[in-house]
A and B are shown apart, each in its own frame.
Chain A
Amino acid sequence: MFLQQVINGLTIGSVYALIALGYSMVYGILELINFAHGEIYMLGAYLGIIFLAFFTAIGLTAYNLPLALFLTLILSVVFCASYGFTIEKVAYKPLRNAPRLSPLISAIGVSIFLQNYVMLTQGATDKVFPHLFGASGFQFVSVRMTYLQLVIILTSVVLMVALRLFVRNTKMGKAMRAVAQDKTMASLVGVNVDTVISVTFIIGSGLAAVAGLMVAMYYGLVNYFIGYIAGIKAFTAAVLGGIGSIRGAVFGGILLGLVESLGGSYISSEYKDAYAFIILIIVLLVKPGGLFGRAELEKV
């Protein structure tokens, strides 16, 4: 029972971690809580369903399932990244020098817009993701793990490692770290800040798309308001780990997944959604820097 809940928590936690990475990266660079990030994840889930339906209609799914899934993944990521890129250009870039509340409210606007955009184009009812994998899996002593759970955890781990390598070792990654430290200074030494910010949004949105697709497969049901609550939880995860830190986002996400899954089975499942908020408030009160972050000093 306990181990089973740990497995479930790890699965959902790794999804939270993937979304949290997007929050954390954007916050690290723009100091903006990208409220619309949860909606990108929701778009990812919807796009997954749409493209998979398309491939099923042209017969690719029956012919070669892994290929169809792979193409679905790629297309969802491409479209979500495009959405992320566009959102930044339209809603955040004109406000880059505005007071801090302006981009936040703009982000809330984008979030409401995207929710209703999806509701109007795709309908307000739940969408079903085709049941492809069944419940097949394997059994340790008393714990059951489905292949899908394994795939979700492995995909997340691979993406997180890849992101870490990217930020650590490539020129663009270096530029990102430079912009996160000091935008003006980075632009003085020849970093194109606009490009870096765009790339940040593209990567973050791509990760959210993967998360959305995997959750759609895992739960099988998608609706237009999943992005809001998932976004808040992922943000909590990012704050829990220390916003701006990649390692922090990953640990925060997994920790939150575990708390939710264990708390849901041992304390009360009705308040499952409240745990994230309670954790968030406690973390902000006790250790605002998060587990891996440094406390921010206010400059006068």
Chain B
Amino acid sequence: MAGEGLQFPTGKKIFVTARPFIIALWLSFLFLPFKGIRASLIFFFCSSIILFSFRYVSGFKKMFSGMTQSIRIKTRSSAFFSGRFPVVFRYSAAVFLLAFPLISRDYFIDIAVLAGIYIILALGLNVVVGFTGLLNLGFVAFYAIGAYAYALLNTRFGLDFWTALPFSVGLTVIAGFLLAIPALRLRGDYLAIVTLGFGEIVRLILNNWDSLTRGPNGISGIAPPEIMAVSLGKLSHYYYLVLVFVFLTVITTKRVYSSRIGRAWVSIREDEIASSAMGINTTVYKLYAFAFGAFWAGLAGAVFAGKMQFVSPESFTFMESVLILCMVILGGLGSIAGVVIGSLILVLLPEVLREVQLYRMLALGAGLVLLMVFRPQGLFGGKGVFIRN
């Protein structure tokens, strides 16, 4: 099925040869009212040339399968995270990560810190979506709860980061349990919608509960974390903090994944009915998945609030949820290395392609569709949620 692309309901031979032109004509017809005749004509020429060349250079389908094949071979031969990677490279990677703030500009460190926060978030979402197979579209709500909990505890009660962290993460986990109550009853897409609703409700509350959250103005003046009375307000210090948390997340999720709980999650993902027949209490394990995912989101939220020293509801929109989901899906659902790489790609790409930043979300949307159609397991994922054996 995959790779069929556009197929118009005609069986006639002429249409087969002329199909690129017909598709291009159709698409430019759709484009017409939005940008006028001239842009539409340009669009027609460009798209027909592209579609035609796809067909006659090597065939769209063939080209794409070749591309994915090469990626697969590459990942297999390098096997970076599986432990077969030469020790020398692993140590040099570790040295690079540790020395990174010393050798680069603040701009790059800032991006690295952001990437670290997203990696924690994406790994947390990966537990819910990738391991357990429950689509959570409101993941950003946990992130928001974690961030606001730290922001409020710090600005209202003067708690420092390390005292506030258990509370804010604990609160997020409780929220995870609360959301899991409907999750236990619903399947698939209904669950997705309920989580989405949860995300929106949390954002609306943050936006409207002026007396507590100061509404759209957000909360400013949040203190950055301290270690031994040394404030980590400096970017390079913060980098190390985030690095430690990222490693903690990677190792913990990896360990839990290969534990009894992780096995139970995967079996629920593969076949819920079969796994409950095997004696797994699916309700309890789904609850664990939600709470465990929320835990990391809460941590990421607190780290985010400490870094920005400012939180507002604007940072926690539905699009943020989608972005995190994209990171998980792009890298490969269920694969920890894949998710890390996916988050890195999606954080770095807009920075590299500054001048086309406007088109970022457009490309993200199109990319999601293409990924689902051509390579549903993501760039680095194996068989899993989206592939039926």
Contact = CB atoms under 8 A, between A and B. Distances in A.
Contact of B369 (A91, A115, A122, A195): A91
Contacts of B3: 94
A105 B188 CA distance: 12
Interface string B330-359: 000000000000000000000000000011
B208 interface: yes
Contacts, number: 166
Interface residues of A, number: 64
A115 B194 CA distance: 22
21 contacts: A32-B189, A79-B30, A91-B373, A93-B4, A94-B2, A94-B3, A94-B373, A101-B135, A101-B188, A101-B189, A106-B372, A108-B137, A109-B365, A109-B366, A112-B364, A113-B365, A113-B366, A114-B365, A228-B318, A277-B198, A285-B182
A80 to B, nearest CB: 10
A33 B373 contact: no
Contact of A106 (B1, B9, B368): B368
B329 A105 contact: yes
A285 B135 contact: no
Contacts of A111: 365
Given A89-B8, A112-B322, A288-B185, A232 B196 contact: yes
B175 interface: no
Contacts of A194: 9
A182 interface: no
Nearest to A243: B190
A120 interface: yes
Contact of A281 (B34, B182, B318, B359): B182
Interface string A94-137: 11111111111110111111111110111000000000000000
Interface stretch (A166-174, A258-266, A268-276): A268-276
Interface residues of B, number: 60
Given A274-B204, A288-B185, A298-B187, 6 more contacts: A31-B189, A95-B1, A228-B318, A232-B196, A281-B194, A288-B190
A95 B369 CA distance: 10
B262 to A, nearest CB: 20
Contacts of A175: none
A288 B182 CA distance: 11
B276 to A, nearest CB: 11
Which 5 pairs between the two chains have the least Cβ-Cβ distance?
A109-B368, A113-B365, A112-B365, A277-B197, A109-B369
Contact of A113 (B186, B273, B319, B369): B369
Nearest to B215: A270
A280 B193 contact: yes
Contacts of B319: 112
B110 interface: no
Contact of A232 (B5, B27, B200, B372): B200
Contacts of B1: 94-98
Contact of A33 (B185, B192, B368): B192
B205 to A, nearest CB: 8
B144 interface: no
B306 to A, nearest CB: 29
Contacts of A271: 204, 208
A159 interface: no
Contacts of B204: 270-271, 273-274
B386 A47 contact: no
A82 interface: yes
Contact of B368 (A75, A90, A97, A112): A112
Contact of B273 (A31, A115, A300): A300
Contact of B6 (A90, A109, A195): A90
A86 interface: yes
Given A33-B189, A93-B4, A103 B372 contact: yes
Nearest to B186: A284
B364 A99 contact: no
A51 interface: yes
Contacts of B98: none
A218 interface: no
A104 B187 CA distance: 13
A68 B27 CA distance: 26
A120 B358 contact: yes
Contact of B361 (A75, A115, A300): A115
Contact of B7 (A89, A91, A114, A288): A89
B8 to A, nearest CB: 7
A96 B137 CA distance: 22
Nearest to A117: B362
A95 B147 CA distance: 37
A112 B368 CA distance: 9
A101 B128 CA distance: 13
B197 A100 contact: no
B279 to A, nearest CB: 17
A292 interface: no
A110 B369 contact: yes
B242 interface: no
Contacts of B97: none
A280 B194 contact: yes
B385 interface: yes
A144 B76 CA distance: 70
B34 A121 contact: yes
A87 to B, nearest CB: 9
A277 B201 contact: yes
A278 B201 CA distance: 8
Which of B135, B364, B372, B376 counts the most chain A CB atoms within 10 A?
Answer: B372
Contacts of A101: 133, 135, 188-189, 385-386
B388 interface: yes
A273 B200 contact: yes
Nearest to B319: A112
Nearest to B373: A94
A96 B4 CA distance: 12
A120 B372 CA distance: 24
Contacts of B358: 120
B66 interface: no
A232 B365 CA distance: 18
Nearest to B196: A232
B367 interface: yes
Interface string B165-207: 0000000000000000010011111101110111011001100
